[in-house]
Amino acid sequence: GDGYWFSARATEYANRREVFGRLIGSNQGVQFPIADAYMKVRAADLMRYEAASLFDAGLPCGAEANMAKYLAAKASWEAANTCLQTHGGFGFACEYDVERKFRETRLYQVAPISTNLIYSYIAEHVLELPRSF
């Protein structure tokens, strides 16, 4: 959800913020990072659906669930950075809520399962590498 929120806020702001008589959203330097962030959020969402489908079917889904969590946390964090960058200094203004959600989305990389634990799970259970701890 947060990744989509950040993508939407960045898009809305880019579509209304004018600098030198042009919307900032008309510049590829603004468009491309927003598009990149959105695609990563969408890819994470698709992995989430795959994990949920396996779970609903009663099939093993540990790898897919871990990958979905990792991809969603990373995509949300990247979308947060893009949104903050799009807003510039206004991204820290309380009325935009970007700064608050920026801080909150960082939590997803450490809780409830840290990124390193996900790496360990994938390495051991999917790639069949020796346990590292």
Within-domain flag for 27 = yes
pTM of the model: 0.92
133/125 Cα distance (integer angstroms): 14
Quote the number of domains for the chain: 1
- Quote the pLDDT of residue 63: 98
Task: Give me the residues paired with residue 19 across strands.
Answer: 22
The CATH number linked to 51 is 1.20.140.10
**From 28-37, 60-69, 105-114, the region with the lowest mean pLDDT:** 105-114
Within-domain flag for 85 = yes
80/56 Cα distance (integer angstroms): 31
Q: Give the residue carrying structure tokens 């990247």.
A: 78
The radius of gyration computed from the CA coordinates of the chain, to the nearest angstrom, equals 17
72-81 b/e (C-beta count within 10 Å ≥ 16 → b)? bbbbbbbbbb
Residue span of the structural domain in which 106 resides: 2-126
